[in-house]
Structure 1
Amino acid sequence: MTSIDHPDSQTYYHGTKADLKAGDLIEAGYASNYGRRKQAAFVYLTATLDAAIWGAELAMGAGRGRIYIVEPTGPIEDDPNLTDKRFPGNPTKSYRSRHPFRVVGEVADWQGHSPEQLKQMQDHLEHLKQQGIEAIEE
């Protein structure tokens, strides 16, 4: 994993169903948006809008998906769930941190994936769940 101590002027996104406002912090320690909803040891962000859209669409909970523009408050590192053997080189530009992210804005106009793509991804995640494969939370 590569640690990034001082993120550059990159724009980062966080997809969720939580209703937040500018200035709010997204922190570890709450129920995860995914899987068995266990307490999250990390918070996640991405530098691609597509990955954030997946996050907003697949997050558990009521309400509509939302995509926030966020800024890290501490170091971030590659997300091992979407790097290494799965996607060498981190093409999804997905990262995680134990430090909070500050909401600085919201992407109001975004288009989700097609119902077919969403169903295919949900089926894939269900297949992984049945195999006992969950997110890495080391």
Structure 2
Amino acid sequence: MDFFFEDLPSTSVSTPKKGHEDTTMSEDTDNDSSRQNSSGTVVIDVKEQHSSSSIDDISRRTQEMVEKINHSRTSDQKVMDSFQEKIIEKVTEMCQQMKEQMYTVYEKNSNEMQLKLQELSEVLESCSKLNQELLEASQALAGLREGIGSSQQSEL
């Protein structure tokens, strides 16, 4: 965003310092008489040239300052963009490291769970065998009881 002040009219007013009013006035009247030459044309006043060059100088310096400010802002934006890119890279890198650690923990936990599940499976299989043996023993005892009960009835 550039600002151009060359085309703007000057709104500044200068006031003479105390003690200089008389000399300024006498210079103006002296200059008024020298402004016209023999052919009747007006000669440009030195003060007008000076104030015009001062305005041009101020305008040029103002434009340079605006350009410096704009350059500084552009530089600041580049720094912020670079900072943002680096932050994004670091955050992405940290997320990737966290994922890798998380997967390592998952794998370790999975291996431990697999061992525990294997042990549980073996215990359940052992329980099933014991239950089957208990059922067989119970049936054998029921058969013995029947046998004892029928032999006692036949003796009576």
Please say whether Structure 1 and Structure 2 have the same fold, judged by a TM-score greater than 0.5.
Answer: no
TM-score interval (norm. to shorter): under 0.3
The structure whose RCO (Cα within 8 Å, separation 6+) is larger is: 1
Q: Kindly indicate which of the two structures has a greater share of residues assigned to strand.
A: 1
